[in-house]
Amino acid sequence: MLPEYITRNSVGIATTLGIAISILLSYKINQAYSRWWEARTIWGAIVNDSRSLVLQLQLYLNEQIKLIYKISHYQIAWCYSLEKSLRRQDISEVLNSILTIDDIEKVRKHSNTPLAINQLQTLLIKELFKKGFLNEFARIKIEETLTRLVASMGKCERIKNTVFPPTFGQILNVAIYLFTIFLSLSSTFQLNIILQIAILTSISVMFFFLEELAHSLQDPFHNYPTDIPITAISRELDKLVASVNPADPTPLELHRSPMFGGKKIWRQYDKGQRCHIIKEALGVLARSHQSNRIFACVVNKAKLSPTDPVEFAFEQLDSRSKKMRKRRYFFEQLREDFAEFLQNPPLNIMVLS
Q: Are residues 338 and 229 in the same domain?
A: no
**Total domain count, the chain:** 2
Q: Do 196 and 49 meet the contact criterion of CB atoms below 8 Å apart? A: no
pLDDT tens for each residue of 9-62: 677 778 888 888 889 898 889 999 999 999 999 999 999 999 899 888 888 887
Contact 279, 299 (CB under 8 A): yes
Same structural domain, 194 and 310: no
Q: What is the mean pLDDT of the chain?
A: 73
The answer to pTM > 0.75 is no
One domain, residues 194 and 55: yes
Please state, in angstroms and rounded to a whole number, the distance separating the CA atoms of residues 100 and 103.
5
- Same structural domain for residues 311 and 321? yes
Pairwise CA distance, residues 219 & 242, whole Å? 31
Mean pLDDT of 257-285: 48
Report yes or no: 187 and 8 within 8 Å, Cβ to Cβ.
Answer: yes
- Do 243 and 329 have their domain in common? no
DSSP 162: S
End-to-end CA distance of the chain: 109
- d(Cα 217, Cα 20) in Å, to the nearest integer? 21
3-state secondary structure of 312: helix
Same domain? For 312 and 181 the reply is no
Stretch 100-128: mean pLDDT: 89
Q: What is the CA radius of gyration of the chain?
A: 30
Q: How many Å apart are CA 79 and CA 231, to the nearest integer? A: 9
Domain extent for 210: 1-247
**Confidence check: pLDDT of 94 > 90:** no
Q: Which of 8-17, 136-145, 231-240, 291-300 reaches the highest mean pLDDT?
A: 136-145
The verdict on 76 and 118 lying in the same domain is yes
Q: Do 256 and 212 share a structural domain? A: no
State which of 186, 215, 247 marks the end of a domain: 247
Instruction: Determine the Cα–Cα distance for residues 78 and 73; give it in Å rounded to an integer.
Output: 8
Distance CA 16, CA 23 (A): 11
Looking at the structure, do residues 177 and 289 belong to the same domain, yes or no? no
Q: What is the pLDDT of residues 153-176, one digit of tens each?
A: 999 999 999 888 888 888 888 888
**209 plus 346 within the same structural domain:** no
Residue finishing a domain among 223, 247, 271: 247
- Per-residue confidence (pLDDT) for residue 185, from 0 to 100: 76
Q: How far is CA 31 from the centre of its chain?
A: 26
Which of 247, 264, 289 is a domain's end point? 247
| 69 and 216 assigned to the same domain | yes
For 178, other C-beta atoms within 10 Å of its C-beta total 15
Give the separation between CA 84 and CA 221, rounded to whole angstroms: 9
Same domain, 103 and 176: yes
